[in-house]
């Protein structure tokens, strides 16, 4: 058609995303050719087991178990196998062979992004992975290209759909953690190993990727501070609700000056309170959203589906068209940019605020004593609410919202409160994010 040249595309993996990607390439050939200026030929689909693909509605002859051979002689390789190996080796082979690569593999990019990016840069090839974070939502390209002339200061995202689903059920319908989790599991929203979701590992991988692109800095997976949602109680959520907050599992990456002035970045995942009027508070069910703050652009938000075969395939196809266009034009891709190389600062350096709920003895002087503990650590209270009736006999419930302070000081404050004779129990400690 129109004398377009052919580009050979190798597809590695044929799960729910892979099958959609194959279908789109096969069904939308003419339209893709018009957008690219070349025709995409699906050279093959590498799978582990041919028999398992018997009832997939794709031409049988496309399937092969020889991924390595399929990669050889391809112009573009799409890796949708997941996991580290053999995905990593196959991508390296593809890049060395001069192919461009598109992947949705968040675990691989989080762990080996630098190695793969360097390999691509060395041969002037392209490696794109938009689908690895927040599926259908265009976020990596806007961070990398649209904001290329700005200074991103903070990225704060709801990037794990299943934990958002769980917290949203608890918030909106008053469900218990267990009941919401069971429902999420029944609906297939949780990974085979649910700890990847509920302990924040999945969100941490995405935070790594977001941070490395936003700050042009390599962020090792292991440098991400991580707390999951298993400790979040319905009581916390309901207390948050009545105070005008909602609990969300946030992946935060930000530029930060340490106490000693060192410029660095902080990357962390934890459940936190955000004000109801914050745009992230309106992200319900399994949706994802990434809130970005930049010096000139101000506040931006990118919202949409964070999972799903079709949705993820949309992002893969966007990257595919992009690398194919560049393949036609020739010349090297945009180099992976890690020129800043800022240090990743420990969680103790982060400036944040705490909401602390205590059960205290209902006696004169207790409030002054607690205020003294805060101020000894340089922490000041933004709000203190006392609720006598809610506590046990002879005790009171105290909810303290702090001003922003270094995490290390806040943690020490909580530790001292926990050991103080006036405090019968530390009921809840949760961070506050997104306040104006």
191 is in an annotated binding site: yes
User: Contact with its own copies (CB under 8 A): which of 8, 114, 310, 361?
Assistant: 310
Query: Nearest to residue 107, comparing CAs of 27, 203, 39?
Result: 203
CA angle 122, 125, 130 (to 5 degrees): 120
End-to-end CA distance of the chain: 56
| Nearer to its own copies among residue 96 and residue 150 (C-beta) | 150
* CA dist., res. 109 & res. 87, Å (int): 11
303 binds its own copies (CB under 8 A): yes
78-96 residues labelled b (16+ CB within 10 A) or e (exposed): bbbbbeeebbbebbbbbbe
Q: Which stretch binds its own copies (CB under 8 A): 132-140, 356-364, 376-384, 389-397?
A: 132-140
Residues found in the chain: 436
Q: Using CB under 8 A, which of 118, 302, 351, 369 touches its own copies?
A: 302
Stretch that binds its own copies, among 3-11, 92-100, 138-146, 391-399 (CB under 8 A): 138-146
* Distance of closest approach, residue 323 Cβ to its own copies, in angstroms: 11
Residues 26, 31, 36: CA angle, nearest 5 degrees: 100
Work out whether 314 is an interface residue with its own copies (CB under 8 A): yes
CB closer to its own copies out of 149 and 364: 149
Shortest Å, Cβ 165 to its own copies: 16
206 among known catalytic residues: yes
Is-cis flag, bond preceding 124, omega within 30? no
- Contact between 209 and its own copies (CB under 8 A)? no
Q: Which stretch binds its own copies (CB under 8 A): 34-42, 67-75, 249-257, 352-360?
A: 34-42
Of 52, 84, 148, 392, the one binding its own copies (CB under 8 A) is: 148
Confirm or deny that 106 is annotated as ligand binding: yes
Does residue 307 contact residue 131 with C-beta atoms inside 8 Å?
A: no
379 is in an annotated binding site: no
**Binding residue count for its own copies, defined by CB under 8 A:** 57
Under rule CB under 8 A, residue 109 binds its own copies = no
Binding site for its own copies (CB under 8 A): 20, 24, 28, 32, 34-35, 37, 130, 136-138, 141-142, 145-151, 277, 279, 282, 284, 294-305, 308, 310-311, 313-318, 320-322, 325, 329-332, 334-335, 337, 339
Q: Which residues participate in catalysis according to the annotation?
A: 206
Known binding residues for NADP(+): 12-19
């Amino acid at each position: 058609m129109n004398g377009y040249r052919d580009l050979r595309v190798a597809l590695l993996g044929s799960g729910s995303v892979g099958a959609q990607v194959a279908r789109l390439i096969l069904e939308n050939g003419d339209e893709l050719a018009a957008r690219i200026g070349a025709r995409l030929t699906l050279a093959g689909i590498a799978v582990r087991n041919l028999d398992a693909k018997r009832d997939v509605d794709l031409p049988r002859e496309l399937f092969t178990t020889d991924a390595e051979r399929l990669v050889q002689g391809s112009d573009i390789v799409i890796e949708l196998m997941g996991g580290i190996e053999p995905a990593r080796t196959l991508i390296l082979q593809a890049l060395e062979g001069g192919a461009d690569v598109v992947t949705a593999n968040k675990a691989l990019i989080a762990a080996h992004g630098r190695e793969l990016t360097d390999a691509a840069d060395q041969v002037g090839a392209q490696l794109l992975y938009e689908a690895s974070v927040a599926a259908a939502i265009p976020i990596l390209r806007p961070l990398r290209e649209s904001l290329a002339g700005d200074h991103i200061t903070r990225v704060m995202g709801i990037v794990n759909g299943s934990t958002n689903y769980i917290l949203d059920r608890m918030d909106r319908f008053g469900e218990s953690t267990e009941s919401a989790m069971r429902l999420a599991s029944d609906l297939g929203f949780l990974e085979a190993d649910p700890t990847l979701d509920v302990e924040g590992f999945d969100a941490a991988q995405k935070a790594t990727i977001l941070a490395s692109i936003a700050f042009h800095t390599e962020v090792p997976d292991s440098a991400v501070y991580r707390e999951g949602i298993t400790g979040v109680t319905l009581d916390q959520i309901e207390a948050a609700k009545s105070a005008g907050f909602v609990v969300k599992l946030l992946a935060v990456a930000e530029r930060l000056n340490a106490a000693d002035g060192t410029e660095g970045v902080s990357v962390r995942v934890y459940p936190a309170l955000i004000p109801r009027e914050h745009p992230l508070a309106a992200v319900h069910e399994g949706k994802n959203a990434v809130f970005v703050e930049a010096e000139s652009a101000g506040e931006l938000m990118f919202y949409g589906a964070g999972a799903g075969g079709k949705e993820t395939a949309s992002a893969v196809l966007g990257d595919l068209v992009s690398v194919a266009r560049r393949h036609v034009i020739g010349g090297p891709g945009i180099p992976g940019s890690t020129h800043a190389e800022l240090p990743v600062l420990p969680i103790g350096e982060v400036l944040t605020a705490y909401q602390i709920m205590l059960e205290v003895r209902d006696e004169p002087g207790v409030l002054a004593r607690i205020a003294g503990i805060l101020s000894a650590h340089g922490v000041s209270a933004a709000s203190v609410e006392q609720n006598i009736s809610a506590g046990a006999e002879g005790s009171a419930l105290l909810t303290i919202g702090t001003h922003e302070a270094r995490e290390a000081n806040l943690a020490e404050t909580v530790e001292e409160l926990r050991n103080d004779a006036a405090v019968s129990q530390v009921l809840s400690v949760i961070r506050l994010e997104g306040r104006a």
